[in-house]
Amino acid sequence: MSAENNNLVPSFVVFQVGTRRIALRREEVAELIASPQLFAFPHTTPMISGVVLRRGRILPVLDLGPAVCGAPSRSTRFFLVVERNISGAIEKCAIPVQGACELVSGIMFPHTDIVDFVVGRLDFNGEQVDVLDLEKAIAMNAANYDERILATEVLS
């Protein structure tokens, strides 16, 4: 494949959250960083486990574990920095990742399952990797969290 053609093939970052390998579109990922410390403090936002300091800036840590694996991720030093559009403003967030991250090119096939936050599937060396719609994953997990809180309040 020529370089010109290669540019037309979309790129994805494949990474591991808990026991699951998932992918994000290359454009959504800014960098992979190592940060020595996660700072946690009380809050009520689901999936946010704290913040890390990066070049004097504070990055919220967005744990995808509850959304894609049903459990918080193990602690890690490595974070994938992604850009989110929150109410029209771009904000960088750090996603804790386990194991190696890979940059791959490939064709994404539309997903036929009912999982809303998976936009497609990538065939990567014979391995099927789901490509995530980050905002949908966050929104769905937040909705589930609200339902759990409501159920707890009703039961208590």
Pick from 9, 30, 53, 151 the residue near another protein by CB under 8 A. 53
Q: Which residue number, 13 or 93, has a Cβ lying nearer to another protein? A: 93
152 scored as a contact of another protein (CB under 8 A)? no
- Per CB under 8 A, which region of 33-41, 65-73, 107-115, 120-128 contacts another protein? 33-41
Q: Is 60 in the site for another protein (CB under 8 A)?
A: yes
Q: Is 16 exposed, middle or buried (0-12, 13-18, 19+ CB in 10 A)?
A: middle
* Residues 43, 37: Cα–Cα separation, whole Å: 18
Per CB under 8 A, 91 contacts another protein: yes
Q: What are phi and psi of 143, to 5 degrees?
A: -65, -45
The number of helices, as runs of H, and strands, as runs of E, in the chain is 3, 11
30 touches another protein (CB under 8 A): no
Size of the site for another protein (CB under 8 A): 20
Question: What is the end-to-end Cα distance of the chain in Å, rounded?
Answer: 62
- Using the rule CB under 8 A, which residue among 6, 7, 19, 45 binds another protein? 45
Least distance in Å: CB of 64 to another protein? 13
Helix (H, G, I), strand (E, B) or coil at 45: coil
CB of 77: closest distance to another protein in angstroms? 16
